[in-house]
Amino acid sequence: MNIGWYLAVSALIFTIGAAGVMTRRNPLVVLLCLELMLNAANLALIAFSRMWGNSDGQIFAIIVMVVAACEVTVGLGVIVAMARRSVPIDVDELRELQG
């Protein structure tokens, strides 16, 4: 099968994820969308890996998964802490970084 299809799916998923990150206000959904973006990248890595018949891309995908797992752990922890302190679960309300 042509590599173009894999890349098209990957790009589609990445765009969906990016759009979600930019538009959704629930941090849980934002995290989900981030996962989508990472996995879109993984898909592209594995597709290229198959194309070249070389396992470097697959190893790289596994590393990305590890990073994603860490990121989700931290992100979920933050969200749980927010819920416990009854901070509104809404990224637009968290504006302490405003200059």
Partner 1 sequence: MQTTSWLILAFPLAGAIINGLGFRALKGRAPGIVGTVAIGAAFISAVLTLIKLQDLSPEHRGALFVGWDYAKTVGVDAKVSILVDPLSVYMALVVTGVSTLIHLYSVTYMTSDRGYARFFAYLNFFVFSMLVLVLAGNFFLLVVGWAFVGAASYLLISFWYRRTTATRAGIKAFVINVVGDIGIVLGTYFLFRNTHTLDFIGTFRQAGTIPHGDLTAGLILLLVGAFAKSAQVPLHTWLPDAMEGPTPVSALIHAATMVTAGVYLIARMWPLFEHSAAAADVGTIVGALTLLIAATIGLVVTDLKRVIAYSTMSQIGYMIMAVSAGAYAAGLFHLMTHAFFKALLFMAAGSIIGAMAGEQNLDKMSGFRRAMPFTFGCFVVGGLALAGVPPFSGFFSKDEIIAVMGQRGGWHWVLFVVGYIGTFLTAVYTWRMIFRAFFGEPVAEAAELEHGHLHHAEQHTNPANGEVEDTDVGFPGPDHHIAEWSVPMRAAMGILAVGAIGLGFLQLPFNGTNVVDKFLEPSFRGSKYFGSLHPTDSLTTIGLIVGAVLSLAGIALAYRIWVVKPGTSTAIRERLSGVHRFLVNKWYFDELIDLVVVRPFAWFGRFGQQTFERIFVQGALVDGTSGVVRAGSATVRALQSGLVRAYASLLVLGAVAVGLYFLLQS
Binding positions for partner 1, rule: CB under 8 A? 18, 21-23, 25, 30, 91-92, 94-99
CB 39, CB 13: distance < 8 Å:
yes
**Residue 53: CB minimum distance to partner 1, A:** 26
Largest CA distance in the chain: 51
**Residue 43: CB minimum distance to partner 1, A:** 18
Nearer to partner 1, 89 or 91 (CB): 91
**Residue 95: CB minimum distance to partner 1, A:** 3
H or E element: which one contains 32?
helix 27-52
- Both tokens of residue 60? 């790289």
